[in-house]
Amino acid sequence: MKLWSWLFFGLSGMSFGLDLYHHELKSYPRGAGCQQTAQNLAERLHLVSGAEIYWTGFTKETETVCDIKISYLAAQPIAFSQNSDSIAFGAINQGIKAKMEDCQLELQREEKLFRQFTGIEPWISYCYKGDSFLDPMPYFAFVEGIGKGTLQFFSSEAIVGVRPNGSWKDAFTGTYQAAEKLGIGLVSILGRPYISELDMSLTVRFYGNKRLYLNSEQLAEHQDPSICELQIGEVRAGLAQAQVPPLAVYCGKYSDKRYQLTIVTLSENILGLGDLKILQDPKTFESLEHCRNEKPKILEFYRNQLGKKSLAGFCANPNGPFQITVVEEKTPQR
Protein backbone atom coordinates (compact mmCIF):
# COMPACT_ATOMS: atom_id res chain seq x y z
CA MET A 1 0.00 0.00 0.00
CA LYS A 2 1.45 3.31 -1.07
CA LEU A 3 1.22 5.99 1.60
CA TRP A 4 2.42 9.58 1.78
CA SER A 5 2.36 11.56 4.97
CA TRP A 6 2.98 15.06 6.24
CA LEU A 7 3.82 15.84 9.86
CA PHE A 8 2.45 19.19 10.98
CA PHE A 9 2.73 19.01 14.77
CA GLY A 10 5.91 17.89 16.49
CA LEU A 11 5.72 16.53 20.02
CA SER A 12 8.40 18.73 21.49
CA GLY A 13 6.75 18.60 24.91
CA MET A 14 3.98 16.91 26.84
CA SER A 15 0.43 17.63 25.62
CA PHE A 16 -1.64 17.10 28.74
CA GLY A 17 -5.39 16.94 28.24
CA LEU A 18 -5.12 16.14 24.53
CA ASP A 19 -5.69 12.89 22.71
CA LEU A 20 -5.00 11.65 19.19
CA TYR A 21 -7.98 11.27 16.85
CA HIS A 22 -8.33 10.34 13.19
CA HIS A 23 -10.65 11.39 10.37
CA GLU A 24 -10.90 9.79 6.93
CA LEU A 25 -12.27 11.07 3.64
CA LYS A 26 -13.05 8.42 1.04
CA SER A 27 -12.45 8.91 -2.69
CA TYR A 28 -11.65 12.62 -2.46
CA PRO A 29 -10.86 14.26 -5.84
CA ARG A 30 -7.14 14.02 -6.54
CA GLY A 31 -6.70 17.62 -7.65
CA ALA A 32 -3.02 18.57 -7.89
CA GLY A 33 -2.06 15.21 -6.42
CA CYS A 34 -2.81 13.17 -3.32
CA GLN A 35 0.17 14.59 -1.43
CA GLN A 36 -0.85 18.21 -1.94
CA THR A 37 -4.57 17.46 -1.51
CA ALA A 38 -4.00 15.78 1.87
CA GLN A 39 -1.94 18.74 3.06
CA ASN A 40 -4.52 21.28 1.88
CA LEU A 41 -7.36 19.45 3.63
CA ALA A 42 -5.40 19.15 6.88
CA GLU A 43 -4.63 22.87 6.85
CA ARG A 44 -8.29 23.68 6.18
CA LEU A 45 -9.44 21.41 9.02
CA HIS A 46 -7.04 23.19 11.36
CA LEU A 47 -8.45 26.59 10.34
CA VAL A 48 -12.12 25.66 10.75
CA SER A 49 -11.82 23.52 13.90
CA GLY A 50 -8.73 24.79 15.71
CA ALA A 51 -7.42 21.24 16.12
CA GLU A 52 -3.67 20.71 15.90
CA ILE A 53 -2.73 18.49 12.97
CA TYR A 54 -0.43 15.65 14.00
CA TRP A 55 -0.25 13.75 10.71
CA THR A 56 -1.94 13.58 7.33
CA GLY A 57 -1.55 11.40 4.29
CA PHE A 58 -3.32 9.21 1.78
CA THR A 59 -3.91 5.49 2.11
CA LYS A 60 -5.16 4.88 -1.44
CA GLU A 61 -4.40 6.58 -4.73
CA THR A 62 -5.89 6.26 -8.22
CA GLU A 63 -5.69 8.45 -11.30
CA THR A 64 -8.67 10.50 -10.11
CA VAL A 65 -9.20 10.10 -6.34
CA CYS A 66 -7.41 9.62 -3.02
CA ASP A 67 -8.42 8.16 0.33
CA ILE A 68 -7.29 10.81 2.80
CA LYS A 69 -6.53 10.30 6.50
CA ILE A 70 -5.97 13.17 8.94
CA SER A 71 -4.74 12.62 12.52
CA TYR A 72 -5.21 15.50 14.94
CA LEU A 73 -4.74 16.39 18.60
CA ALA A 74 -7.70 17.68 20.56
CA ALA A 75 -9.31 17.50 23.99
CA GLN A 76 -12.20 15.58 22.41
CA PRO A 77 -13.03 14.31 18.92
CA ILE A 78 -14.39 16.82 16.43
CA ALA A 79 -18.16 16.47 15.99
CA PHE A 80 -18.64 15.98 12.26
CA SER A 81 -22.11 16.17 10.68
CA GLN A 82 -22.64 14.54 7.29
CA ASN A 83 -25.34 13.79 4.74
CA SER A 84 -24.41 10.14 5.02
CA ASP A 85 -25.91 7.44 7.25
CA SER A 86 -23.35 4.73 7.93
CA ILE A 87 -25.67 2.59 10.06
CA ALA A 88 -28.83 2.94 8.00
CA PHE A 89 -31.16 -0.04 8.35
CA GLY A 90 -30.98 -1.79 5.00
CA ALA A 91 -29.57 1.23 3.16
CA ILE A 92 -27.00 -0.64 1.10
CA ASN A 93 -27.30 1.77 -1.81
CA GLN A 94 -25.72 5.11 -0.98
CA GLY A 95 -25.45 6.53 -4.50
CA ILE A 96 -27.91 9.10 -5.80
CA LYS A 97 -26.96 9.63 -9.46
CA ALA A 98 -25.96 7.50 -12.43
CA LYS A 99 -23.34 9.92 -13.79
CA MET A 100 -20.66 12.09 -12.21
CA GLU A 101 -21.83 15.21 -14.07
CA ASP A 102 -25.36 14.74 -12.69
CA CYS A 103 -23.94 14.34 -9.20
CA GLN A 104 -21.97 17.58 -9.55
CA LEU A 105 -25.16 19.41 -10.50
CA GLU A 106 -26.98 17.89 -7.51
CA LEU A 107 -24.19 18.79 -5.08
CA GLN A 108 -25.29 22.42 -4.77
CA ARG A 109 -28.79 21.33 -3.74
CA GLU A 110 -27.36 18.88 -1.19
CA GLU A 111 -25.26 21.68 0.31
CA LYS A 112 -28.31 23.95 0.54
CA LEU A 113 -30.40 21.30 2.31
CA PHE A 114 -27.50 20.51 4.65
CA ARG A 115 -27.30 24.16 5.72
CA GLN A 116 -31.09 24.44 6.01
CA PHE A 117 -31.67 21.39 8.19
CA THR A 118 -28.47 21.26 10.25
CA GLY A 119 -27.69 24.97 10.60
CA ILE A 120 -24.04 24.17 9.85
CA GLU A 121 -21.80 25.50 7.10
CA PRO A 122 -20.08 22.69 5.11
CA TRP A 123 -16.31 22.56 5.37
CA ILE A 124 -16.08 20.14 2.42
CA SER A 125 -18.38 18.79 -0.28
CA TYR A 126 -17.62 16.60 -3.26
CA CYS A 127 -18.94 13.75 -5.44
CA TYR A 128 -17.47 10.27 -5.48
CA LYS A 129 -18.24 6.89 -6.98
CA GLY A 130 -19.21 4.08 -4.61
CA ASP A 131 -17.66 0.62 -4.58
CA SER A 132 -20.70 -1.35 -5.78
CA PHE A 133 -20.47 -2.42 -9.42
CA LEU A 134 -24.15 -3.42 -9.35
CA ASP A 135 -25.57 -0.07 -8.26
CA PRO A 136 -27.14 1.74 -11.26
CA MET A 137 -26.70 5.03 -9.36
CA PRO A 138 -23.19 4.75 -7.87
CA TYR A 139 -22.34 8.46 -7.52
CA PHE A 140 -22.87 10.07 -4.13
CA ALA A 141 -22.86 13.79 -3.28
CA PHE A 142 -21.08 14.03 0.08
CA VAL A 143 -21.39 17.07 2.36
CA GLU A 144 -19.72 17.45 5.76
CA GLY A 145 -19.65 20.17 8.39
CA ILE A 146 -18.29 20.62 11.89
CA GLY A 147 -20.67 20.71 14.83
CA LYS A 148 -23.86 18.99 15.99
CA GLY A 149 -26.68 19.86 13.63
CA THR A 150 -30.21 20.91 14.50
CA LEU A 151 -31.36 17.78 12.68
CA GLN A 152 -29.42 14.62 11.84
CA PHE A 153 -29.22 12.89 8.47
CA PHE A 154 -30.87 9.46 8.09
CA SER A 155 -31.70 7.07 5.29
CA SER A 156 -33.76 3.90 5.10
CA GLU A 157 -34.24 1.32 2.39
CA ALA A 158 -36.94 -1.26 1.72
CA ILE A 159 -37.81 -3.72 -1.00
CA VAL A 160 -41.28 -2.63 -2.03
CA GLY A 161 -41.97 -5.52 -4.39
CA VAL A 162 -43.43 -3.69 -7.37
CA ARG A 163 -42.77 -0.37 -9.04
CA PRO A 164 -45.55 2.07 -9.97
CA ASN A 165 -47.42 1.49 -13.22
CA GLY A 166 -47.74 5.25 -13.75
CA SER A 167 -45.35 8.10 -13.03
CA TRP A 168 -43.33 8.40 -9.84
CA LYS A 169 -44.73 11.89 -9.34
CA ASP A 170 -48.29 10.55 -9.25
CA ALA A 171 -47.37 7.65 -6.94
CA PHE A 172 -45.71 9.93 -4.38
CA THR A 173 -48.29 12.70 -4.40
CA GLY A 174 -48.64 12.65 -0.59
CA THR A 175 -44.94 12.49 0.23
CA TYR A 176 -44.40 16.07 1.36
CA GLN A 177 -47.60 16.07 3.43
CA ALA A 178 -46.33 12.95 5.22
CA ALA A 179 -42.88 14.50 5.70
CA GLU A 180 -44.42 17.61 7.25
CA LYS A 181 -46.44 15.57 9.74
CA LEU A 182 -43.37 13.49 10.60
CA GLY A 183 -41.33 16.65 11.23
CA ILE A 184 -38.58 15.65 8.82
CA GLY A 185 -36.74 17.45 6.05
CA LEU A 186 -37.09 15.27 2.98
CA VAL A 187 -34.03 15.14 0.70
CA SER A 188 -34.89 12.49 -1.88
CA ILE A 189 -36.68 9.23 -2.61
CA LEU A 190 -34.78 6.94 -4.97
CA GLY A 191 -35.94 3.78 -6.72
CA ARG A 192 -33.73 1.04 -8.11
CA PRO A 193 -34.41 -2.27 -9.86
CA TYR A 194 -34.05 -5.16 -7.44
CA ILE A 195 -34.08 -8.74 -8.74
CA SER A 196 -36.32 -8.49 -11.80
CA GLU A 197 -37.58 -5.63 -13.90
CA LEU A 198 -40.82 -5.71 -11.88
CA ASP A 199 -39.15 -5.46 -8.45
CA MET A 200 -38.00 -2.23 -6.85
CA SER A 201 -35.76 -1.17 -4.00
CA LEU A 202 -36.71 2.18 -2.49
CA THR A 203 -34.46 4.49 -0.46
CA VAL A 204 -35.66 7.58 1.39
CA ARG A 205 -33.10 10.20 2.56
CA PHE A 206 -34.07 12.81 5.13
CA TYR A 207 -33.04 15.01 8.05
CA GLY A 208 -34.79 14.41 11.38
CA ASN A 209 -34.38 14.05 15.13
CA LYS A 210 -34.85 10.26 15.22
CA ARG A 211 -34.42 7.22 13.03
CA LEU A 212 -37.43 6.18 10.96
CA TYR A 213 -37.90 3.05 8.89
CA LEU A 214 -39.30 2.59 5.41
CA ASN A 215 -41.87 -0.15 4.94
CA SER A 216 -44.36 -1.19 2.28
CA GLU A 217 -47.49 -3.29 2.24
CA GLN A 218 -49.37 -4.87 -0.64
CA LEU A 219 -52.96 -4.11 0.34
CA ALA A 220 -54.60 -6.19 -2.37
CA GLU A 221 -54.10 -8.02 -5.64
CA HIS A 222 -56.25 -7.38 -8.69
CA GLN A 223 -56.53 -9.18 -12.00
CA ASP A 224 -57.84 -6.04 -13.67
CA PRO A 225 -55.42 -3.07 -13.55
CA SER A 226 -58.29 -0.60 -14.04
CA ILE A 227 -59.86 -1.73 -10.76
CA CYS A 228 -56.54 -1.30 -8.98
CA GLU A 229 -56.06 2.19 -10.43
CA LEU A 230 -59.64 3.12 -9.50
CA GLN A 231 -58.93 2.56 -5.82
CA ILE A 232 -55.77 4.63 -5.54
CA GLY A 233 -57.65 7.89 -5.03
CA GLU A 234 -60.04 6.34 -2.51
CA VAL A 235 -57.25 4.87 -0.40
CA ARG A 236 -55.15 8.04 -0.63
CA ALA A 237 -58.07 10.26 0.41
CA GLY A 238 -58.89 8.03 3.38
CA LEU A 239 -55.31 7.69 4.60
CA ALA A 240 -54.73 11.45 4.32
CA GLN A 241 -56.69 11.63 7.59
CA ALA A 242 -54.10 9.48 9.41
CA GLN A 243 -51.78 10.99 11.98
CA VAL A 244 -49.00 10.23 9.51
CA PRO A 245 -50.23 9.55 5.95
CA PRO A 246 -48.27 7.16 3.70
CA LEU A 247 -45.49 8.43 1.49
CA ALA A 248 -47.02 6.73 -1.53
CA VAL A 249 -50.08 4.88 -2.78
CA TYR A 250 -49.88 3.21 -6.20
CA CYS A 251 -50.59 0.15 -8.33
CA GLY A 252 -47.78 -2.04 -9.60
CA LYS A 253 -47.61 -5.00 -11.94
CA TYR A 254 -46.73 -8.18 -10.06
CA SER A 255 -47.13 -10.61 -12.96
CA ASP A 256 -48.99 -10.77 -16.27
CA LYS A 257 -52.39 -11.01 -14.58
CA ARG A 258 -51.64 -9.63 -11.10
CA TYR A 259 -51.61 -5.98 -10.03
CA GLN A 260 -50.87 -4.98 -6.46
CA LEU A 261 -52.30 -1.98 -4.62
CA THR A 262 -49.31 -0.82 -2.56
CA ILE A 263 -48.69 1.74 0.18
CA VAL A 264 -45.29 2.94 1.42
CA THR A 265 -44.87 4.32 4.94
CA LEU A 266 -42.14 5.84 7.10
CA SER A 267 -42.39 5.26 10.85
CA GLU A 268 -40.51 4.28 14.02
CA ASN A 269 -41.46 0.63 13.46
CA ILE A 270 -38.66 -1.45 11.98
CA LEU A 271 -41.30 -3.77 10.51
CA GLY A 272 -44.92 -3.01 9.71
CA LEU A 273 -46.91 0.09 8.84
CA GLY A 274 -46.56 2.03 12.06
CA ASP A 275 -50.01 3.02 13.36
CA LEU A 276 -51.86 1.60 10.35
CA LYS A 277 -53.54 -1.80 10.56
CA ILE A 278 -54.89 -3.88 7.66
CA LEU A 279 -57.81 -6.29 8.10
CA GLN A 280 -60.21 -8.12 5.78
CA ASP A 281 -63.95 -8.15 6.40
CA PRO A 282 -65.41 -11.69 6.07
CA LYS A 283 -68.41 -10.72 3.89
CA THR A 284 -68.19 -11.68 0.22
CA PHE A 285 -69.75 -10.13 -2.89
CA GLU A 286 -70.22 -11.52 -6.39
CA SER A 287 -69.58 -8.26 -8.22
CA LEU A 288 -67.40 -5.18 -7.84
CA GLU A 289 -70.45 -2.94 -8.03
CA HIS A 290 -72.16 -4.75 -5.13
CA CYS A 291 -68.97 -4.63 -3.08
CA ARG A 292 -68.49 -0.91 -3.66
CA ASN A 293 -72.12 -0.19 -2.82
CA GLU A 294 -71.81 -2.03 0.50
CA LYS A 295 -68.43 -0.56 1.44
CA PRO A 296 -69.80 2.60 3.17
CA LYS A 297 -72.01 0.43 5.40
CA ILE A 298 -69.09 -1.82 6.31
CA LEU A 299 -66.87 1.13 7.21
CA GLU A 300 -69.73 2.68 9.19
CA PHE A 301 -70.04 -0.58 11.16
CA TYR A 302 -66.36 -0.60 12.10
CA ARG A 303 -66.43 3.07 13.07
CA ASN A 304 -69.70 3.27 14.97
CA GLN A 305 -70.32 -0.25 16.25
CA LEU A 306 -66.73 -1.31 16.98
CA GLY A 307 -65.27 2.13 17.70
CA LYS A 308 -62.46 1.70 15.19
CA LYS A 309 -60.77 4.56 13.37
CA SER A 310 -61.35 3.06 9.93
CA LEU A 311 -59.77 5.37 7.40
CA ALA A 312 -60.27 3.59 4.10
CA GLY A 313 -61.70 0.49 2.49
CA PHE A 314 -61.49 -1.10 -0.94
CA CYS A 315 -62.72 -4.14 -2.83
CA ALA A 316 -60.51 -6.90 -4.18
CA ASN A 317 -60.98 -10.39 -5.63
CA PRO A 318 -57.60 -12.01 -6.33
CA ASN A 319 -58.90 -15.58 -6.04
CA GLY A 320 -62.70 -15.48 -5.96
CA PRO A 321 -65.58 -13.28 -4.72
CA PHE A 322 -64.95 -9.67 -3.83
CA GLN A 323 -64.13 -8.79 -0.22
CA ILE A 324 -63.54 -5.47 1.52
CA THR A 325 -60.15 -4.73 3.01
CA VAL A 326 -60.25 -2.12 5.77
CA VAL A 327 -57.34 0.14 6.72
CA GLU A 328 -57.61 1.53 10.22
CA GLU A 329 -55.42 3.56 12.54
CA LYS A 330 -54.47 1.87 15.79
CA THR A 331 -55.89 3.39 18.95
CA PRO A 332 -53.14 4.38 21.42
CA GLN A 333 -53.04 2.10 24.47
CA ARG A 334 -53.70 3.78 27.80
Is the pLDDT at 245 greater than 80? The verdict is: yes
Mean pLDDT of 166-195: 83
Q: Which residues of 279-313 are buried (b: 16+ CB within 10 A; e: fewer)?
A: eebeeebeebeebbebbeebbeebeeeeebbbbbb
User: In the predicted model, what is the mean pLDDT of the chain?
Assistant: 85
**Cα–Cα distance between 292 and 313 in angstroms, integer?**
9
- For 2, 23, 100, the CA distances from 33, given in Å and listed in that order, are 14, 19, 20
Full DSSP string of 244-303: S--SEEEEEEEETTEEEEEEEEEES-SSS-TTEEEEE-S--BSSHHHHHHHHHHHHHIII
More confident: 169 or 62: 62
Q: Where are the domains of the chain?
A: 4-78, 151-329
- Strands in 139-146's sheet, in edge-to-edge order, are 80-82, 139-146, 122-129
**Cα–Cα distance between 65 and 129 in angstroms, integer?**
10
The pLDDT value given to residue 27: 93
pLDDT band at 10 (very low <50, low <70, confident <90, very high): very low
Percent of the chain with pLDDT over 90: 45
pLDDT tens by residue, 71-98: 999 999 999 999 998 765 444 556 899 9
The pLDDT value given to residue 4: 47
Outline where DSSP puts E strands in the chain: 4-6, 19-29, 52-61, 65-74, 80-82, 122-129, 139-146, 152-159, 185-193, 200-208, 213-222, 248-255, 258-267, 276-280, 309-316, 323-329
**Cα–Cα distance between 184 and 153 in angstroms, integer?**
10
**Cα–Cα distance between 85 and 91 in angstroms, integer?**
8
The pLDDT value given to residue 98: 92
Nearest Cα to 127, choosing from 24, 25, 58? 25
Is the pLDDT at 334 greater than 50? The verdict is: no
The pLDDT value given to residue 16: 66
Burial class of residue 72, CB neighbours in 10 A (0-12, 13-18, 19+): buried
The pLDDT value given to residue 275: 78
Full DSSP string of 306-329: S--EEEEEEEE-SSSSBEEEEEEE
- For 35, 132, 265, 272, 312, the CA distances from 278, given in Å and listed in that order, are 59, 37, 13, 10, 10
Is the pLDDT at 1 greater than 50? The verdict is: no
The pLDDT value given to residue 103: 96
**Cα–Cα distance between 18 and 21 in angstroms, integer?**
10
pLDDT tens by residue, 274-326: 778 888 899 999 988 999 999 999 999 999 999 998 888 888 876 778 889 89
pLDDT tens by residue, 112-153: 999 999 999 999 999 999 877 777 889 999 999 999 999 999
Mean pLDDT of 219-238: 84
Sequence-separated (6 or more) residues with CB below 8 Å from residue 311: 238, 239, 241, 242, 276, 327, 328, 329
The pLDDT value given to residue 52: 94
The pLDDT value given to residue 6: 52
The pLDDT value given to residue 155: 92
The pLDDT value given to residue 25: 95
Is the pLDDT at 200 greater than 70? The verdict is: yes
Percent of the chain with pLDDT over 70: 89
Is the pLDDT at 193 greater than 80? The verdict is: no
- For 83, 158, 175, 190, the CA distances from 206, given in Å and listed in that order, are 9, 15, 12, 12
